[in-house]
Amino acid sequence: MRPLAASTLTLLLTLSFAFTSGAQTPPPPAKRLPPAGIAIPAYDRTELTTATAALATDHCLRSLR
């Protein structure tokens, strides 16, 4: 009787683990910001590029690297 109980318990634990581990779904992919297909106007792109270049040369930020 004991070997039957032990094998039944092992089977139940194995099946419960198999069903619970397969039930988890991965998180949805993150949204793109801005979404693909939205163009940035040339003036805004130039302004953003010059502002990031100025931040790269900022002396206060160099100490954080």
* d(C-alpha 16, C-alpha 10), whole Å: 10
Domain ranges of the chain: 40-65
CB-based contacts of 34: which residues, under 8 Å, 6+ apart? 40
* pLDDT given at position 62: 66
* pLDDT given at position 53: 86
Each residue of 1-20: pLDDT tens digit? 577 777 787 877 777 766 66
CB-based contacts of 40: which residues, under 8 Å, 6+ apart? 34, 48
* pLDDT given at position 25: 77
Each residue of 30-47: pLDDT tens digit? 876 666 777 889 999 999
pTM, 2 dp = 0.36
